[in-house]
Chains A and B, each alone.
Chain A
Amino acid sequence: ETGVTQTPRHLVMGMTNKKSLKCEQHLGHNAMYWYKQSAKKPLELMFVYSLEERVENNSVPSRFSPECPNSSHLFLHLHTLQPEDSALYLCASSQGQGREQYFGPGTRLTVT
């Protein structure tokens, strides 16, 4: 595997379900990110982890819970989501701040 991988690629879940999104980066980077992309909107930064510590949380509802067990893996735990949470969720990684971020293919999430 190379680059940034995400699983699953597609996910349909009910509002009462609990699911997790997984991201893995094979680039040796020290920072990882979760973004949300809704239709017709710019990418929204959700969470940033640097060296496995959360450094930014952009007012994301608590029904989204991130976890970074090591510098290569990032999870987004989902519970009691709303239909408006349906979006493309993208993971990214970078080496430090203020530089290029490399994105995974995303998970298309549909909340029914």
Chain B
Amino acid sequence: DQQVKQNSPSLSVQEGRISILNCDYTNSMFDYFLWYKKYPAEGPTFLISISSIKDKNEDGRFTVFLNKSAKHLSLHIVPSQPGDSAVYFCAATISNDYKLSFGAGTTVTVRA
């Protein structure tokens, strides 16, 4: 049973515009959420995280929003750049657990 879902398998966005990636989760025990970026033939790279005590965390061009009541988080990338073309994974965990539950990923393509 997949507890983290990314319902959009792909996203195409023009360079300079905003990319919005969405993620939903079902386990209300999750209290820490992460986004990873993955290029082909490489391992996932940690991008940004957010604790459940916050509703927003920003790091440069990347902002993650958390809506606990809706069990939904999103990643905003602005402005989008060609190097942002990759697969983005949403993940969630519980603070006393080792396991990260991952979504299936969203492939982002940034068009010039």
Hey, which bits of chain A sit against chain B, CB under 8 A? Answer: 4, 6, 31, 33, 40-43, 45, 48, 50, 55-56, 90, 92, 94, 97-106, 108
Contacts and interface: CB of A to CB of B under 8 A. Distances in A.
Contacts of A48: 98-99
Given A41-B104, A98-B32, A104 B98 contact: no
B43 A103 contact: yes
Nearest to A4: B43
Nearest to A3: B43
B40 to A, nearest CB: 10
B102 A90 contact: no
Nearest to A31: B98
A42 B41 contact: no
A43 B46 contact: no
- Tell me what chain A mostly uses at the interface: helix, strand, loop, or mixed: strand
16 contacts: A31-B98, A33-B98, A42-B4, A42-B102, A42-B103, A45-B100, A48-B99, A50-B98, A94-B98, A98-B31, A98-B94, A100-B46, A101-B100, A103-B46, A105-B42, A106-B42
B43 A106 contact: yes
Interface centre among A42, A55, A103 (most CB of B within 10 A): A42
A97 B98 contact: yes
A4 B53 CA distance: 30
B28 to A, nearest CB: 15
A90 B48 CA distance: 20
Interface centre among A40, A55, A92, A100 (most CB of B within 10 A): A100
A103 B99 CA distance: 14
A98 B31 CA distance: 9
A43 B49 contact: no
B45 interface: yes
Contacts of A98: 31-32, 93-98
Contacts of B93: 97-99
B104 A103 contact: no
B105 A45 contact: no
B25 interface: no
Given A42-B102, A98-B32, A105 B95 contact: no
